[in-house]
Amino acid sequence: MNPIQKLTSLGQSLWYDNIQRRLLENGELQAMIERGEIRGVTSNPTIFNNAIAKTNDYDSALTPLAWAGWDAEKIFWQLAIEDIKAACDAFQPLYEETNGGDGYVSLEVSPYLAHDTDATIAQAQQLWARVRRPNLMVKIPATKEGVPAIRKAIAAGVNVNVTLIFSLARYAEVMNAYLSGLEDRLAAGHPVDHIASVASFFVSRVDSKIDPKLPEGSPLRGKAAIANAKLAYDLYQQTFAGRRWENLKVKGARVQRPLWASTSTKNPAYPDTIYVDNLIGPETVNTVPPQTLEAFKDHGIAEVTLVRGLDEARDAIAQLEALGISMEVVTQELEDEGVKAFADAFTQLLATIDERRKAAASSLGPLADSVSKRIAQLEADSVPARLWKHDPSLWVSDKDLEGQREVTIRMGWLDSTDKARKKLKEYQAFAKEIKKAKIDRVLVLGMGGSSLTAEVFSLLFEHEPQAIDRESSTINRSSSLKVGILDSTDPAQVAEAAQNFPPEKSLYIVASKSGGTAEVMAAFEYFWKLSKRDGARFAAITDPGTSLEALARKRGFRKIFTADPMVGGRYSALTDFGLVPAALLGMDLNRLLDRADWMRNQCSENCPAARDPGLALGAVLGEAALDGRDKLTVLADAPVSPFANWIEQIIAESSGKNGKGILPVPLEPIGNPEVYGDDRIFVYLRQTGEHEEVVAKLKAAGHPVIHFPLSTFYDIGAEIYRWEIATAIACHILGVNAFDQPNVESSKKITKAKIAEYQKKGKLREGKPAWKKDGVMVFSPTAVTGASLKAVLNGFLKKAKKGGYVAINAYLPRSAENTDVLQQMRAAIRAKTGNAVTAGFGPRFQHSTGQFHKGGPKNALFLVITAEPEKDFAIPNQGLTFGTLIRAQALGDYEALIEAKRKVMRVHLPSVKAITELLKALE
């Protein structure tokens, strides 16, 4: 046996004098329990000060509490109780295995109450009620005023860890208080068989106090603490051996075990395990800090030592008294110093929390008051519980039966991680099968939510793993496949995808929830023909019973994944649509889902609204929009920037309806603070810190700026879940249904009509241009004037209103060059109008911001850009080309915007390359 195993066999339990959120979340504490190294945990104000004030582990939890307006002490108790609950749950199996003998976790009452009996009793019972775990111990200091509180707490059924015991006289009072509490409880007719208590006798501090009073080289140095503890153990054995104890024992009472505390070695001249090796005996506990645990595990000596040298112990104490060193005086001083030290640590801790609280609240700028009130209102309205009960009245009225139905069939995302875990083996087996088939790349044919998560994961993955995840070993690059997406009908982009994903090397995943998405089916027909109709090169992800599922079965697809029909497309990231590509990328799916569940647990109905990160973010977004800050501007460090586009879709498509909405403005070129209006709220996805300076300037200018640090690749799982909750809450605040998209069909209907007309007449009806020159044509529902394109554009942009926005809808290939030009156009238009400027490639954006464009606020200008394709080719079996399809989609979008009474202009270019001329006209 190793030293710890032998120690346990001798009847002593090692408890861990340390707690920290990181240990709870990374599994280290659980591992220590499973290895048998520790059998309980103790905490105190100093430990929590080190855990909270000296790390950033608690920042993500502290932020929503600060937004809710909680004060520092209230925040502390929330954070501490969360840790204690988690530790209690980790020790629960040991607690049950030992029938309550071990597995306890201790939480101390406020050190400010050390001399207030009634307040100590009240808080001990309050903490017991809040933690609600049978293996909690509430720590009460053994001050004069604490002793009667111990008795009352025991009588009330509270497990007690009595702390700061230094003197034998006070220890006798503590044991008497415990026994009296048990007797009081029995007299009241209550059982005592599950009441547990330990008496924490502080050790090393005694030597630290006495040694300096002794001459250099005195043989008594380093003797007082162990002698004092041995005499205490002798007193314990006497107390729990008489008739009084036997009367309680027959009723099922447990002994109050001595616990040796303060057992780290303060004097480097002493052995580092001196206060463990010399205090071993049955029915005892030693709570050790990390360094002492490691030392004892390595070279500790496990032998029964407590009952040895009792006479020598008495003699040592007598010699000290003879030298004028009064143990009564020393131990009272130690008690006073201990109370003060804990109070000082608590004061320092609260000051640190308050500083961080103020910083978090100040990030909201002028929104701070309204957000805190909103969170309180959400709590009062039971919104967290109603969300988890799928209550449609959060978003639609009782009279809106169709809206209610839509909500009830779209709430499966809340427990998507549970469903995903049941399918992990299927995902992983499929990835192995594809690798074994010598397929090294995958192309997802999808639109919107059916392909966006695949793209986000793939683009994140392209960065060096060290840049996004220091624990890169969890990314299995050896089994990784190249994953791309095709979400365009532009012929150049389709051709590029075909070149990069040739059939002999590729798997094509046809992804569509509805099973009939026009763009997806066009791409499928093309790649089906390209692959020579080889079903082994295809897989499908779709809802059960769709036409795509039937097609896949008929054509012999390699695999069909039937997705959860209770999850809408934009909420489907943690379902088959995101996780199948993730498995093919070689991601650790368990870890991804663990991070999602980490966030889910904080957003559960059992958490206060103020502690719910998703709800709190939703409150911020909702209140910002009500206050006129409805332009959610997303800044992102390069490694995590792909996630901004995912945020854009879920926010825009969920909120933009009934003339309301929150407009995401992702990855807009960064400007100085003065270029932004007071309609902005900023989100910073932080990984490398490259935008810290800009963010500081924005905050200094009074803009709300919210940080979201993503330290690892897998934090995306947590953020996906946070933003899903936040979106639902923000839509509740705005009074819109987060789960429908009533305006999307308008452009689809127009597009279908135009295609039908084309198939009949061989020509698309586009109308007459309002202006044309040098091959450039401008279409507008209103008159256009100007001798040059620059004048035409300037005339259009003059219609921009303060607080509005400009959207660039570009039906062009989504290339790096075109993306760069659109970014420059965004900056130029912003400079001219003062408006936020978004840019999207069509038809992709129709499945993201298209709903917002038609259903959101009517305060925008829309610049639709089309161009003659450089090359074009037919869509098999559809009687038209890709160039015709994308033009029909652009016209459908343009005319739907006119139908929705939006201000819109379409500029048709003679070639894609002519986009640079458009940029020049805007400069």
For residue 802, what are the CA distances in angstroms to 84, 680, 897, 922?
51, 12, 20, 19
- Using CA atoms, how far apart are residues 202 and 266, in angstroms rounded to an integer? 13
- Using CA atoms, how far apart are residues 233 and 240, in angstroms rounded to an integer? 11
- Using CA atoms, how far apart are residues 524 and 510, in angstroms rounded to an integer? 7
Q: Are 33 and 91 in contact (CB under 8 A)?
A: yes
- What is the crossing angle of helices 452-462 and 642-655, to 10°? 160
Q: Which residue has the tokens 């030992």?
A: 98
> Is residue 139 flagged as an active site residue?
yes
Q: Are 921 and 793 in contact (CB under 8 A)?
A: yes
Q: Are 57 and 21 in contact (CB under 8 A)?
A: yes
* Residue among 225, 284, 228, 286 nearest 256 (CA): 284
- Token readout for 84 is 């204690």
Q: Are 141 and 163 in contact (CB under 8 A)?
A: yes
Look at strands 771-773 and 776-779 and give their pairing.
Answer: antiparallel
- Token readout for 373 is 């009130």
User: Who's near 457: CB < 8 A, 6+ residues apart?
Assistant: 483, 578, 581, 582, 585, 587, 716
How crowded is residue 688: how many other Cβ atoms within 10 Å of its Cβ?
12
- Token readout for 576 is 């088959």
User: For 362-394, b where at least 16 C-beta lie within 10 A, e where not — what string?
Assistant: ebbbebbebbbebbeebbeeebbebbeeebbeb
Q: Please state the separation of Cα 118 from the chain's center in Å.
A: 39
* Residue among 697, 700, 704, 569 nearest 631 (CA): 704
Torsion angle in degrees (nearest 10) through CA of 630, 635, 640, 642: 60
Torsion angle in degrees (nearest 10) through CA of 49, 51, 54, 58: -110
- Using CA atoms, how far apart are residues 348 and 335, in angstroms rounded to an integer? 20
- Using CA atoms, how far apart are residues 194 and 827, in angstroms rounded to an integer? 69
- Using CA atoms, how far apart are residues 858 and 868, in angstroms rounded to an integer? 30
Q: Which residue has the tokens 């460090």?
A: 637
User: For 567-604, b where at least 16 C-beta lie within 10 A, e where not — what string?
Assistant: bbbbbbbbbbbbbbbbbbbbbbbebbbbbbbbbbebbe
* Residue among 3, 2, 16 nearest 273 (CA): 3
Burial class of 189 by CB neighbour count within 10 A (0 to 12, 13 to 18, 19+): exposed
How crowded is residue 477: how many other Cβ atoms within 10 Å of its Cβ?
11
According to DSSP H, which parts of 546-608 are helical? 547-554, 576-585, 589-602
Answer whether the bond into residue 111 is a cis peptide, omega within 30°.
no
User: For 212-250, b where at least 16 C-beta lie within 10 A, e where not — what string?
Assistant: eebeeeeebbbbbbbbbbbbbbbbbbebbeeeebeebee
User: For 12-23, b where at least 16 C-beta lie within 10 A, e where not — what string?
Assistant: bbbbbbbbbbeb
Amino acid identity of residue 912, one-letter, is: V
Which residue in 74, 85, 139, 419 is the catalytic one? 139
Q: Which residues are catalytic?
A: 139
